[in-house]
Structure 1
């Protein structure tokens, strides 16, 4: 079997622009909160001074707390979420490793199975990532659709989306926590900043799903990615666990509103069909300019758990 190989080196996966945006956004929020809450006639220097402590504290707290939390994610998930961790020689784990190689990842993520009809990836970086696939999803999808879901989750790893989202949530918590001690910013000002930051985090979450879909499609095909999305969309309602962790999930809260964690099925399908993001995924190419296809060593179909379930 041959599959396209993603040019990992040219993938725009740095989390630095996101971090800089979070720092700048926190500063704007602090200054705005001070301005709207200050008495009439107060000087700008006084306002800047009242927010100055947060200029340093919020970025430092947001960065440190975010990275510490991300560093513990993988072990905490295994311990608390009922995940069955697969051994390296498990056929499904081998499938994940093969697709990770096509994506250009140099390390093998941990692979686990959960009882929920969903999938997600967590970890501070590619060297400490965990890919979790739901057993109901494995049982209901065909091989290519499962591969598309795996590719989607590997896309989050390659794109550094776990770090982006972890830092965004940590910065939000740090900003709100700092403002809670502020004697300058009034309660309604803090409420507005809390909601504005929440809308930013949710918008970031929705945008990253499009890119992960595109990588899943690059590793399989856009038809298989669309098929996986449609099958999940028509599956059972989200469990309480899935809703509480919706930002991490392959399928999240997708109501088409600003409060949604994911784009709607129609939006994701349209983006894939038009190849809006797929065209921007860098692929390794032959000397003639065609995408490079390399042979992939995969487990035999009859040895793979989801293939067995289809045959039974």
Structure 2
């Protein structure tokens, strides 16, 4: 946990340093009046990184609360025992601490992983998955989620979102100052009403582009988790699990704050595809089929 906090602080300081340099250049070289830079950077930090950091820290609690997930403390039946045993084995193979294992009531085939760190995480599966998938397919889904944890995807996603939020807040207000000053003849004094209108519009426009960047990473991490799941459970099992998802998948009932962490999500077309958290299942299946075969441990590759 301490390492994650240090990483957040280091990233935050690096972003603030870069923004400070950019704003200094705008003021001293181009003569752009930006107002109180210190206050702007503090606000960007609090609302940009602060929100992402808090969301990360409470992610497990929010996931349990929003889905009604039941954490398996003591397995009550053979299925729960299998889930715990499988996740424990995969976590050991991935080099992470045992995640909490939970089941939540939902009709669709789905699962998710969340948590503030690789060693403080939650892996949950839906009751629909347990009913519809055989053990090989379910094993691959669990391996996919354990791979998300091992890759540190939750922390990386929070860092990316924090950086993007900070840039959106600062850039919208910097551009707003410049445009407002130009429209009002570079007059001195506080910003006019036009400034607040411009900032409101730019927050939405820049926020849209920021969302595209965040969702690009989200799609990339799904391919990476599929590859990790194939390494932990076997390529054919991972392909079979994704094929089963493609045959039976419907609209996810996962809450919005958890949906991006599910094994499957809604897919759009055209420009809408840029805002989707998951790539099409057909692309994920093809990527696994096209991936080079990993050598078996203990063999010699010539």
Query: What range describes the TM-score normalised by the shorter chain of this pair?
Result: 0.7 to 0.9
Q: Which moved more, 1:201-210 or 1:225-234?
A: 225-234
Q: Which moved more, 1:183-192 or 1:210-219?
A: 183-192
- Is the counterpart of residue 97 in structure 1 residue 88 in structure 2? yes
Aligned residues: 264
Q: Report the equivalent of 1:275.
A: 291
2:58 counterpart SS class: helix
Q: Report the equivalent of 2:137.
A: 145
- Would you say the 8 A contact 1:26–1:55 is kept in 2? no
1:227 counterpart SS class: helix
The residue correspondences of 1:41-190 to structure 2 (distance < 5 A) are 44-46=30-32, 53-55=39-41, 57-59=43-45, 61-89=47-75, 90-91=80-81, 92-105=83-96, 107-116=97-106, 117-176=109-168, 184=177, 186-187=198-199, 188-190=201-203
Taking CA–CA contacts closer than 8 Å with sequence separation of 6 or more, which of the two structures ends up with the larger relative contact order?
A: 1
Q: Output the CA distance in 1 between the equivalents of 2:38 and 2:246.
A: 47
Flag structure 1 segments of 5+ consecutive residues without an equivalent. 1-14, 291-312
Residue 203 (structure 1) shift? 0.4
Q: Output the CA distance in 1 between the equivalents of 2:289 and 2:296.
A: 22
- Is the counterpart of residue 200 in structure 1 residue 213 in structure 2? yes
1:273-296 deviation per Cα after TM superposition (whole angstroms, max 9, x unaligned): 1116x86xxx9954x547xxxxxx
- Would you say the 8 A contact 1:148–1:220 is kept in 2? yes
Q: Output the CA distance in 1 between the equivalents of 2:103 and 2:297.
A: 34
**Cα gap change, 1:285 to 1:22, in 2 (>3 Å):** farther
Flag structure 2 segments of 5+ consecutive residues without an equivalent. 1-5, 178-194
Q: Output the CA distance in 2 between the equivalents of 1:50 and 1:266.
A: 51
Q: Output the CA distance in 1 between the equivalents of 2:236 and 2:214.
A: 29
Q: Report the equivalent of 1:306.
A: none
Q: Output the CA distance in 2 between the equivalents of 1:131 and 1:195.
A: 30
In terms of fraction of residues, the more helix-rich structure is: 2
1:145-183 deviation per Cα after TM superposition (whole angstroms, max 9, x unaligned): 111100100011000001111233344445545667775
**Cα gap change, 1:23 to 1:262, in 2 (>3 Å):** farther
Residue 53 (structure 1) shift? 5.0
Q: Which moved more, 1:90-99 or 1:48-57?
A: 48-57
1:258 counterpart SS class: helix
Q: Report the equivalent of 1:224.
A: 237
Q: Report the equivalent of 2:222.
A: 209
Aligned-CA RMSD value: 3.8
**Cα gap change, 1:244 to 1:109, in 2 (>3 Å):** closer
**Cα gap change, 1:284 to 1:53, in 2 (>3 Å):** farther
Residue 120 (structure 1) shift? 0.5
TM-score, L = length of structure 2: 0.73
The residue correspondences of 1:225-240 to structure 2 (distance < 5 A) are 225-240=238-253
